Structure 1
């Protein structure tokens, strides 16, 4: 996907408290607190920032400074009101390794503790209530979901179970994810060729072909990068701010609907690239995660007022 910049965005003033995203391996998908120092060489699109929790030296005395594109910065998210409880399958940010990572609540545990699944790493970890916050996106100067509305709909668990032991059969249709640059975050249709003695699976992609276009690509993948095909659901209409998968460049990419157009067309915003693309309804599906042998839907981010993102 290409990078689309919001032409109306304004740089953050010097000294602004912000959250910072990174494109470096091992840090992608997290937000870190920091401070804007100044623009780089008076370029309003490049900002020098200083992290609050990441250090440049092993002794931990010198905060890390970086020059980043302004699109990698956002204001500090609003604080949740009161002593808030989180619900099963609700989207949250969890504080882990000095940053906030997006995840999904997979279990409500005793003692105000929660089990959280992270889609980027396929990990499941346990957190206390104080280590979690509502997951919000900063989209063109607006928090999604809006602060005053938060999440209006209960989360949904899709009642479809398949073997949770990740033993996929030869010839089974599956979806495969990749950690390669440019493919992260997408799922691609494939067929299982065989399970290897190492525990990995040999698969053949259904639509990705080799460089000389003579055959479909085959690959070995581990169990964290393979899942069954999601349920085929009939959706009458997608809602504003609903999380969806969009079929793009032969794969399914997770995004958020931020404008409902006529004739069953939608504008979808992709958080990883800050890009928006128009899709037909037939090119979209509801976003679900494969967790512990069943499909779980993240909370729909619904705004009943249907405010437009400026």
Structure 2
């Protein structure tokens, strides 16, 4: 594992999207106006973010995801899943097309339940199934406009989504986003984001490249062989909660990792004090540096006594 940090305290810089956060990206390149692509923040530095796209790959190497340095104005959270699938002519929507979400407007109802969507930027008119559409929303001052309905929020929080059982090699296949833990002193309760480089180096072993930890000579991101006891998939999307409660278990972002803690005091505004059992420390955090805690147990995510099967 990487060397132990000299301090367990957090940086005074507050980043809206700490490393490891899944985001939607708005490219500024010609031909991408009105589009958003899903990606993951790898590093935050000098008011910029290094992100890795989930669906866009390099022209010369299709196995290599595109990485790009972007401004905060080009990023936003991944919106919650919607339960509302009814669309009317005139609705502003996002349509999933060419590996991303593109802004358009519903212009007509087509045969087979499909809908015609007009894209203003490209002047194209294409038919889509309802499953490939979502209502268009903007992220303005930390809120969705128009807002999500309350019943949609509840559904997103409680939905259980079963999938077919996967082998360890399938879960941790090459390119998979993962989190790495450690039994070393000083690292208990910490999870570092990384990407699987090789599916299997040895029996139940995987070569992982960290997303925020660099080599001693700063020549690149640190790589390490990890066994299945210390690796887990990247946590699933969870609804961004408006408020954390007293004694609620959370993960807090500092020292390049997510650390398990408990809300020990709810402060004024969007601040909290979090207690860390392993280090017996209590530190103040902004809401944006916290996430609901989840555990990976027997191939399932467990959160607040509720199993989410992925």
TM over 0.5: no
Q: Which has the higher contact order (CA 8 A, sep 6+)?
A: 1
Structure with the larger helix share = 2
Q: With structure 2 as the length reference, what TM-score do the two structures score?
A: 0.44
